[in-house]
């Protein structure tokens, strides 16, 4: 297996921490030629085992330059893991347009930018696999994460469509939908500015955030996502969707499809203590 992997070039966006870092370390150990990205200067970060390069997925030029750099070295890109993502929590009413757009810029348009750069390369190769890191929050609306959910719902739609368009060109598209994973995402995330000054939602927002922080802290390590990503890469006929998480999280998605909407919503509000 090691020898075959040696020829496969993998780009992972947002590989400086959490899920992206775990994927990069895991695939590097398995012998893949891994390129990870960060918005920061990699020389100022602790050393990584894999190649780390600067790329801000919010910026067209930065994405274009990053992809060109990999192509100049490798002349191919086999697998892309679109992982870079941010979350800013707050009631929809307390989310400014700028804060909403910032989340879409990274979580949705960032993926689109990378896809538009790599798809011509993959088409020319006649082979490729795009793996988009979505979330259970791309399938189920989570209170006080409205804009984050909206970005992931949008990513789900984009990926479903793209998969059909590129199939005949030898390119696979898959979605990974993790539940709560023990990363620093909440710590990296922010609350919207207006959340601090509007008391209307404070009690419910705080209650829901506490549950989310607990679930993330008690969630599995990001290595479980990395293992799943490797399995997806190795699958002879990769599926569209892969869920990673606890049985309860898997059941929540199934229950959304099965239960009457009102009952499902009631259960979710009870869970997040939203009154
Ligand atoms: N943790 C969870 O429970 C969970 C659950 C479901 C889905 N996810 C998804 O998994 C992905 C990774 O999340 P995580 O939990 O590992 O979070 P994390 O630890 O905060 O890592 C986020 C990564 O994205 C990078 N990043 C952020 N904005 C970027 C930008 N504009 N351009 C390039 N890189 C950028 C960060 O790098 P720099 O700061 O160094 O630039 C960092 O490496 C996200 O898409 C998230 O939505 C997470």
Q: Which of 94-98, 160-164, 182-186 has the lowest mean pLDDT?
A: 182-186
| 73 is known as an active-site residue | no
pLDDT at 234: 97
pLDDT at 186: 77
pLDDT tens-digit profile of 53-63? 999 999 999 99
What's the rounded mean pLDDT across residues 218-238?
Answer: 97
What's the rounded mean pLDDT across residues 29-38?
Answer: 98
Pick the catalytic residue: 35, 135, 152, 195?
Answer: 152
Say whether pLDDT at 130 is over 60. yes
For residue 189, the 8-state DSSP code is -
Instruction: Give burial (CB, 10 Å; 0-12/13-18/19+) of 135.
Output: buried
pLDDT tens-digit profile of 233-247? 999 999 999 999 988
pLDDT at 3: 61
- Supply the residue whose CA is at minimum distance from atom 46 of ligand 1: 85
How confident is the prediction for the chain on average, in pLDDT?
96
Q: What confidence tier does 139 reach under pLDDT thresholds 50, 70, 90? A: very high
The domain limits of the chain are 2-247
Angle between helices 146-166 and 110-125 (to 10 degrees): 10
Pick the catalytic residue: 32, 35, 148, 201?
Answer: 148
CATH fold, domain 2-247, is Rossmann fold (3.40.50)
Count of CA atoms in the C-beta half-sphere (13 A) of 210: 9
| 148 is known as an active-site residue | yes
Cα–ligand 1 centroid distance for 86 (angstroms): 6
Pick the catalytic residue: 21, 89, 134, 272?
Answer: 134
Atom of ligand 1 nearest to the CA of 58: 31
Say whether pLDDT at 145 is over 70. yes
Cα–ligand 1 centroid distance for 88 (angstroms): 12
- Taking CB atoms within 8 Å and a gap of at least 24, the contacts of 43-49 are 45/16, 48/15, 48/16, 48/21, 48/24, 49/25
pLDDT at 187: 78
Q: Quote the CA–CA distance of 49 and 22 in Å, as a whole number.
A: 11
Say whether pLDDT at 117 is over 80. yes
Say whether pLDDT at 178 is over 90. yes
């Amino acid at each position: 297996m090691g020898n075959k992997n040696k020829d496969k070039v993998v780009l992972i966006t947002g590989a400086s921490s959490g899920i992206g870092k775990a994927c990069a370390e895991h695939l590097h150990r398995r012998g893949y030629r891994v390129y990870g990205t960060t918005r920061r200067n990699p020389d100022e970060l602790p050393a990584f085992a894999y190649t780390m390069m600067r790329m801000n997925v919010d910026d067209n030029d930065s994405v274009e330059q990053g992809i060109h750099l990999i192509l100049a070295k490798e002349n191919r890109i086999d697998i892309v893991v679109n992982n870079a993502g941010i979350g800013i929590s707050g009631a929809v009413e307390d989310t400014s347009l700028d804060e909403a757009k910032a989340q879409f810029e990274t979580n949705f348009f960032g993926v689109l930018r990378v896809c538009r750069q790599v798809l011509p390369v993959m088409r020319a190769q006649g082979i490729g696999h795009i793996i988009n890191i979505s979330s259970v929050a791309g399938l189920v609306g989570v209170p006080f994460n409205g804009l984050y959910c909206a970005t992931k719902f949008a990513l789900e739609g984009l990926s479903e469509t793209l998969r059909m368009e590129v199939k005949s060109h030898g390119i696979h598209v898959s979605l990974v939908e993790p539940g709560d994973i023990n990363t620093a995402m909440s710590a990296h995330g922010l609350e919207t500015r207006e959340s601090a000054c509007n008391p209307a939602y404070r009690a419910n927002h705080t209650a829901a955030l506490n549950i989310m922080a607990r679930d993330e802290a008690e969630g599995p390590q990001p290595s479980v996502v990395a293992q799943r990503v490797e399995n997806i890469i190795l699958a002879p006929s990769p599926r569209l969707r892969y869920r990673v998480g606890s049985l309860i999280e898997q059941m929540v998605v199934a229950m959304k499809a099965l239960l009457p909407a009102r009952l499902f919503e009631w259960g979710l509000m009870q869970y997040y203590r939203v009154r």
